[in-house]
Each structure stands twice: as structure tokens, then as C-alpha cells.
Structure 1
Amino acid sequence: MDALVSIEWLANELGAASGVGDLRIVDATYAEGRDAAAEYEAAHIPGAVFMNLSELRDTDSDLPNTLPSAEKFASRMQTLGLGDGSRIVLYDSSPWHTSARAWWLLRLFGAHNVAILDGGLAKWQAKGREIATGKETPRHRHFTTWADLKGVRDL
């Protein structure tokens, strides 16, 4: 799977009768001053789950957005239904393009098949694609972390 996928690619994958692989869609919107979770519940790509990026940090640190522990990260991914072998497509509706942070975190902690949806939710809607509301209830999955922290520096 490419690191950037198109609206058409995702629509085709969602419509595939065979359900090839374990495709998971994740709304990774974070925007200060907005309730991203409520926005997700009001409109999201069918099957998407909401990843709360503010929970994916080290809450014991005084610094913002530091890395969570591998255990915390794995626990959150399992709750979202993301597991070993999942093909994960991320999108956001944030001015900060926060799906890129989610992509980096997933790759850092061992997920290999991760992509960002080109154009995100806005382009999905502009193309007249189906929109879902409410919360999705994912099936709990096992997520094995393989953190490669060589490229991470701390203070």
C-alpha cells in the first residue's frame, strides 16, 4: 500500500466484495478549540474510528506531544480495532494535517501498512461519497509494538 492513497482507491477497497485484508479507516483529526470527537460523530467515512491524538502522548511529561509508552500506544490501538496485519488509512480535517502525526506514530511503533487519504474528509465529501454518523464499534485486536526509536531524540 502506498503512503498516500486516493479517494477512488479507498472507495474501491471499501466496495470490494471480497473484503481483501484487514482495512481500517481512522479519523486522526486534532484541532485546538474544536471538539474533533463530536465532529467525527457528526460526519465520518463509513467504518472509520476516531483516534484521539491528545491521548497518545506521555502525560507525565511537562513537554507537549511527547511519545507515549509502547504499552499505552498498543492499548489505544487495540481499542480502536487496529492490530497486527491491519491496513490502516488515516485522514483528518485539521488545519495542522494531524493524520501525518498519526502516520508517524503508527510507523514508529511497528505498523507497516499505513497510508494517508489524499484530500481527507473534505475531498471525500466533495466527491459525493457516503458519510456515516455516530460511533463505530471496532472489534478489539492485538497490536504488537516494534518501536524503532533510533530516529527519536529527547531532552
Structure 2
Amino acid sequence: MQNIDKVEKLLKNELSAAETYHQALEKFEEEAQRKEIAYLEPIYEEHTSAVSELQEKIQQMGGTPTSDSGIWGSWSETVMSGAELLGRDTMLNALLAGEKSGLEDYEQAAQDPDIPSDVSALIETKLLASQQENIRALNRLLQG
């Protein structure tokens, strides 16, 4: 059960990330900021894909995956609401902080002997690289 809990934590992070990017995309669509949308849509889709993959892994482990981001979802909603009030760069920096936190969580999980090998393989072959690319994309957007 401990193994499922660790994978479930990663799933909740991804659910929170997907919700946060969805909120950001809605905000940028309201303001017709096409450049931001072009950068953020692929990141949103990547997080949505990671949710599906982690849910599948939890099912394979015999668990019932959550569809609720829990406390992280509430936290990200609060951060994004504040960031919306403070503007574009603040919102993008909040997304960047979330990506960096997610990268750290994946790096730790990849080294955790309690994480099943197929989940570690998913992290090492896909999820770590996606997080790193998301960080690069957000940095490019902030610098551009």
C-alpha cells in the first residue's frame, strides 16, 4: 500500500498541475494572449497525459486512482488566483515554481526503491524529460 501512496502523491501533483494550467489557459484566452497559449497548451496536454499514465499504473498496482488533486489543487488555485491579480509574469513564475517542484518530486521518486520499476521507468523515460522541457519552455516565455 505504501508504494501506491507514493505513486498517488505523484498523481495528485499532476492533477494539480493540469488544473493550474487549465486556469492559466482560460485567463490567457480571455486576454487573447496567443503566444502564451501556444506555449502553455502543450504543457497542459503533457500533464493531462501524465495523469492518465499514473492512473493506469495505480490500477495495475491494484489501487483505485484518485481524480482529486487534494490539498495541492486548493493551494495551486489560491496561488493562481493571486498571480492573476498580479499579472502575466507572476502567473508564469508560479507555473515555473510548480514545474521545478514537480521535477524534484520525480527525481526523488526515481531514486526511491519503494517505487515499482515500471513506474520508475515511466519517470526516467518520460516524466523527468517532460518536466525539464516544461521548465525550458516557461523560461523562454518569460524571457521573450
TM-score, shorter chain, exceeding 0.5: no
Which structure carries more helix by proportion? 2
Normalization by structure 1: what TM-score?
Answer: 0.29
TM-score (norm 2): 0.30
Which of the pair is proportionally richer in strand?
1
